[in-house]
Structure 1
Amino acid sequence: MSEYAEHSLDDAGEGLVEKKSFTFAQTEPFPLESGASIGPVTLAYETYGRLAPDGSNAVLVCHALTGDSHAAGVYSLSDPKPGWWEVMVGPGKGIDTDKYFVVCANVLGGCMGSTGPASIDPATGKPYGISFPVLTIGDMVRAQKVLLEHLGVTRLLSVIGGSMGGMQVLEWAARYPDMAASAIALATAARHSALHIAFHEVARQAILADPDWNGGDYYASGKPEHGLAVARMIGHITYLSDEAMRHKFGRGLQDRADFSFSFDADFQVESYLRYQGRKFVERFDANSFLYITRAADYFDLGATHGKGSLTRAFSRGSTRFLVVSFSSDWLYPTYQSRELVQALKRAGKDVSFCEIEAQWGHDAFLLDSPRLAGLISGHLERTRRDMEKGLI
């Protein structure tokens, strides 16, 4: 994800925002699809805009693998980095907060304020570590539904997300087919390919092989910084395209005229990856990375909701869909989006599809794109009008 330069409040779009939290399952644990349960559960979340009196303008934004609830705005005037989707969420933007009440929550299992492996286990008074139960995308979505009910949202105008956020979108549509009037799935798939699972496994092994991981019990002794940094470096390679790498780095050398004849970061791309790894270690928990990647790899919409049929998984409800892929995204290639669209059409759903030409790879859905903003804005407006007319 791109770094942001310092800005003034006027540049921030949504302006000052506040991270909030909601806790539930204090008396009765929250059941998980694995058969385990957990409680209490806290979800960190942010909201933008105002909920209409009839509750008809709520939009849920679901974040990607290492994202969080901070989708837009800034926490203070001195905050150097606005939310991860600042280009899309805000007044007059693709997801217009002058029109819509937008909610974004950090997923269950995360480490940005929601209950996860780094949280304190009330039974022991220590961090859960790997005693934390294994999660699914379904568990994350069920927890989001509890939050929305707490906020007074009984129906969503739309649920929107990219990458793993797109998986949550698809899960919402299949699990709660009458709650979401529309679903906007960006750069995602109904299940991970073997290639994608392989990259996740290599990243997980980088963490597990770090001696400082200590069987997941590292909170008092020091986190596995090297393993987590390597995991992030692996991820960043998959987020970019060959064209993006050539455009951004080529074979440029880093601060030198010739090779160092050592294993220092000679090339600009090496320096970039090392920087991204160091920055990631500062903000993310290694165990959360293990749990969230595992949840994403387990996701298989057709198997879970359609007895092996993706079409059957979409057979209920009247949710309409917008599916968007990006031409240079090799992590979630366009053929996976087309498989979604074909299944939706066979299920008789209202579905629109667009492949956007973009050179930046998987990260393209996070970057400023007038075309993507226009697609999302138009889809939301059409859905809002049809809801007002009672058509959906």
Structure 2
Amino acid sequence: MVFTGWPAPTGKHLSLATPFPGDRPLLLSSGARLGPVQVAYETYGRLDDARGNAVFVCHALTGDSHPARHHADDTPGWWETMVGPGRPVDTRRYFVICANVVGGCAGTTGPWATGPDGAPYGEAFPEVTVADMVGVHRALLAGLGIRRLRAVVGGSLGGMQTLEWLLRHPQDADGFAVVAGTARQSADNLAWNAVARHAIRGSAAVAAGPVREAGLRAGLGTARMIAHLTYLSEQSLHRKFGRAPRKGGTRTHPSSLVQGDFAVESYLEHQADKFLRRFDPRSYLQLIGAMDHFDAFAAPDRLADAAAPPAVLLYSFASDRLFGPEHSDHIKTELAARGLTARHERDETSDIGHDAFLLDVPGFLATADRFLKDLDLRAGARRDDLVTS
């Protein structure tokens, strides 16, 4: 059985661009060339006459180009608390762009896409990095005629992209907000991803055809369960589930995984089953590999010059056992060593864990809102200076 690829999503709000056609391929960090490269993206709001009110939202590991609803009847997005009318990234005030990353499976070129031989790339898809993701997004913006952003905002893997963007191209935006992010994976982070990789590859080992495909899918379900344990804190798991038995004592959904006796097991099984319906195991391997190899400050002098230093917000959550406050402290110290001041805000109110950045945490959302409004004021003052000079 030939791998048929992951179906790219379609929707009336999804747009597609090809910033790197076949005759002008993308040069990846690895030295490999990839083309054509298609990018799936969505936009919200209106670009103002000065083309200066654009905000780019970078998605996390399993996100996509749909952070929020476009209207009341639309499918909910993954960052409804942050993006939308009256939210910090206010779609009445900003022109918002969000794009699926290269290597993903939500419309942007990845392992699901057709390769040079006419068949899907599958496991032959070249290795991508966080820098490659940023390069593709910048090419998308160039095609849209946007030269400068009001802000780049992202959490988790999206925070890695935001940090990479800041270091390579600080002149691209007035401000950068790195939320629940890191400059590099810790040994603990690497270990969790090693187990996830083993679950996926081990389940498909020494197999081919449909057996291998079934193994990859089963392994991805297990990997998703592992990841959820890092996204939630011990306190939140205890509060939500404790030692409660599975509801009704029986299965409540058609899980393909082993059914456990406890409610927390049922929750993990449910999360795994949902994930299998929307994600490609090969993309998952690509993206966790990009996260593992990301090391923002590996070069001691790494920070491009900018005529006007951008504002930088780092936001962390004390209950986050994946990228806790110490990760943001590290970023702040490294940026300061390069002459750039960053503001680090730490939330102590939520016990949710890493996923707090996706949820309604009032202090966090208020901080993000103030940060963006301050950028608006700075941009307005800059325009006034230009008019009067």
Give me the TM-score of the superposition, normalised by structure 1.
0.88
Please point out which of 143, 156, 176 is paired with 1:163: 156
Deviation string, structure 1 residues 201-220 (Cα, Å, up to 9, x no partner): 110111101238957x7699
Q: What's 2:305 paired with? A: 316
Q: 2:326 aligns with which of 316, 332, 335?
A: 335
Query: What is the correspondence of 1:273-312 to structure 2 with a 5 Å cutoff?
Result: 273-303=268-298, 307=299, 309=300, 312=301
User: Structure 2 residue aligned with 1:40, among 16, 36, 41?
Assistant: 36
For the residues of structure 2 that align with 1:46 and 1:295, how far apart are their CA atoms? Answer: 23
Distance 1:109 1:163, change over 3 A: same
Partner SS, residue 272 of structure 2:
helix
- What secondary structure, in the 3-state scheme, does the structure 2 residue paired with 1:98 have? coil
DSSP-derived class of the 2:220 partner: helix
Q: Distance in 2 between matches of 1:196 and 1:165?
A: 16
SS of 1:153's partner is coil
Looking at structure 2, the residues matched to 282 and 57 of structure 1 have their Cα atoms a distance apart, in angstroms, of 36
Separation in 2 of the partners of 1:91 and 1:255? Answer: 37
For residues 57-104 of structure 1, what are the alpha-carbon distances to aligned partners after superposition, in whole Å with 9 as ceiling and x for unaligned?
110000000110011105883x5x401001110111111111111100
Matched, 1:354 2:350: no
CA contact (8 A) 1:218 1:224 kept: no
2:26 corresponds in structure 1 to 30
Distance in 2 between residues matched to 1:51 and 1:214, nearest whole Å:
51
**Match of residue 344 from structure 1:** 335
What is the CA distance between 1:313 and its match in structure 2? 2.5
Q: Is the 8 A contact 2:204 2:211 kept in 1?
A: no
> C-alpha displacement at 1:350, in angstroms?
3.6
The AA in structure 2 aligned to 1:30 is L
**SS in structure 2 opposite 1:21?**
strand
Post-superposition shift, 1:257? 7.0
Instruction: Flag the 1:62–1:255 CA change in 2: closer, same or farther, 3 A.
Output: same
1:1-392 pair list within 5 angstroms = 18-26=13-21, 27-73=23-69, 77=73, 81-121=75-115, 123-211=116-204, 214=207, 224-255=216-247, 264-303=259-298, 307=299, 309=300, 312-314=301-303, 316-317=305-306, 318-357=309-348, 358-390=350-382
Identify if the C-alpha distance between structure 1 residues 161 and 214 changes in structure 2 by more than 3 Å, giving closer, same or farther.
Answer: farther
CA distance, structure 2, for counterparts of residue 371 and residue 24 of structure 1: 38
Gapped runs of 5+ residues in structure 1? 1-15
**2:325 alignment partner AA:** T
- The answer as to whether partners of 2:318 and 2:325 remain within 8 angstroms in 1 is yes
- Once the two structures are TM-superposed, the CA of residue 116 in structure 1 deviates from its matched residue by 0.2
Partner SS state of residue 98, structure 2: strand
Helix, strand or coil at the partner of 2:367: helix
What letter corresponds to residue 351 of structure 1 in structure 2? Answer: A
- Note if contact 1:90-1:96 (Cα within 8 Å) is conserved in structure 2: yes
Q: 1:6 maps to which residue?
A: none
How many residues get paired? 363
Is the 1:24–1:39 contact (alpha carbons within 8 Å) kept by the matching residues of 2?
no
Q: 1:18·1:75 contact (CA, 8 Å) conserved in 2? A: no
Letter in 1 for 2:64: D
Query: What secondary structure is seen at the aligned counterpart in 2 of 1:146?
Result: helix
The aligned residue for residue 5 of structure 2 is: none
* CA distance in 2: counterparts of 1:290 and 1:280, whole angstroms: 14
Asked whether the 8 Å contact 1:56–1:156 carries over to 2, the reply is: yes
Distance 2:91 2:259 in 1: 46
Q: CA deviation at 1:314?
A: 3.6
Specify the code of the residue in structure 1 equivalent to 2:51.
G
How far apart are 1:315 and its partner, in Å? 6.1
Aligned-partner Cα distance in 2 for 1:380–1:128: 40
Please give the alpha-carbon distance, in whole angstroms, between the structure 1 residues aligned to 2:362 and 2:55. Answer: 20
Change (3 A) 1:233 1:221: closer
Mapped contact 1:187–1:362 kept (Cα < 8 A): yes
CA distance in 2, matches of 1:337, 1:355: 9
How far is the alpha carbon of 1:222 from its aligned partner?
A: 5.0
Distance change in 2, residues 1:75/1:90 (3 Å): closer
Kept in 2, the 8 Å contact 1:341–1:351? The answer is yes
d(CA) in 1 for partners of 2:210 and 2:57? 32
Note the C-alpha offset of 1:24. 2.7
Equivalent residues of 1:55, 1:153 under 8 A apart: yes
Contact 1:64 1:164 in 2 (8 A): yes
Per-residue CA distance 1:182-215 (angstroms, 9 max, x = gap): 1000001111101101111110111101238957
Any idea what SS the aligned residue of 2:327 has? helix
% identity of equivalent residues: 42
Answer whether contact 2:259 2:269 (CA < 8 A) is retained. Answer: no
Q: Which runs of 5+ in 2 are unaligned?
A: 1-10, 251-257
